[in-house]
């Protein structure tokens, strides 16, 4: 079984900007059941279908498959729940780990989250200065939940 071990953090300032060029992502969900999610994604001209299990202590099963980009676009346009997740992802190397900083657009504009994938749940992580509050255990920040409850609706 493929396993993803990931921690999520809010980004507290803009000092990370300019460290790397970002790639635009467009993704949507076919299923957002609490026990499993199924999403389609287009990033850097490639298509993906991803199935994820329930998160438990920053760990969950994950299976990702490449699919033709035309199929991914059609799934996004015709089958996925709205709103789609639109974001720019920046990959930043820091102390031997790759941080993925997602700057959201559309109904989630204003939200910036950093994620880091780990080899084990207890792996020590050096936090960059621009990292803020950890939100790994807060389901509001899961991409699958941002379609039902977009960030733009949190403060109104």
Residue 29 falls in the annotated catalytic set: yes
Contacts of 11 (CB under 8 A, 6+ apart): 101, 112, 113, 114, 130, 131, 132
In this prediction, residue 9 carries a pLDDT of 98
The CATH number that applies at residue 147 is: 2.40.320.10
Domain count for the chain? 1
Return d(Cα 15, Cα 38) in angstroms, integer: 33
In this prediction, residue 156 carries a pLDDT of 56
pLDDT at 55 over 90: no
Task: Give the domain range for residue 125.
Answer: 3-153
Residue 28 CA from chain centroid, whole number = 11
For 92-145, the pLDDT digits (tens) are: 999 999 999 999 999 999 999 999 999 998 899 999 999 999 999 999 999 999
Q: Are 113 and 102 in contact (CB under 8 A)?
A: yes
pLDDT at 10 over 70: yes
Identify the active-site residue in 25, 29, 90, 94: 29
């Amino acid at each position: 079984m493929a396993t993803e071990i990931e921690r999520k953090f809010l980004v507290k300032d803009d000092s990370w900007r300019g460290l790397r060029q970002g790639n635009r992502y467009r993704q949507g969900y076919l299923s957002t059941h609490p026990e499993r999610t199924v999403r389609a994604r287009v990033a850097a001209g490639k298509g993906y279908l991803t199935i994820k299990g329930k998160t438990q202590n920053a760990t969950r099963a994950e299976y990702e498959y490449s699919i033709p980009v035309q199929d991914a676009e059609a799934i996004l346009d015709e089958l996925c729940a709205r709103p789609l997740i639109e974001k720019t992802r920046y990959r930043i190397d820091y102390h031997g780990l790759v941080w993925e900083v997602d700057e959201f657009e559309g109904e989630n504009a204003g939200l910036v989250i950093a994620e880091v994938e780990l080899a084990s749940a207890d792996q020590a992580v050096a936090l960059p200065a621009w990292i803020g509050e950890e939100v790994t255990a807060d389901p509001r920040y899961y991409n699958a939940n941002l379609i039902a409850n977009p960030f733009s609706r949190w403060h109104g």
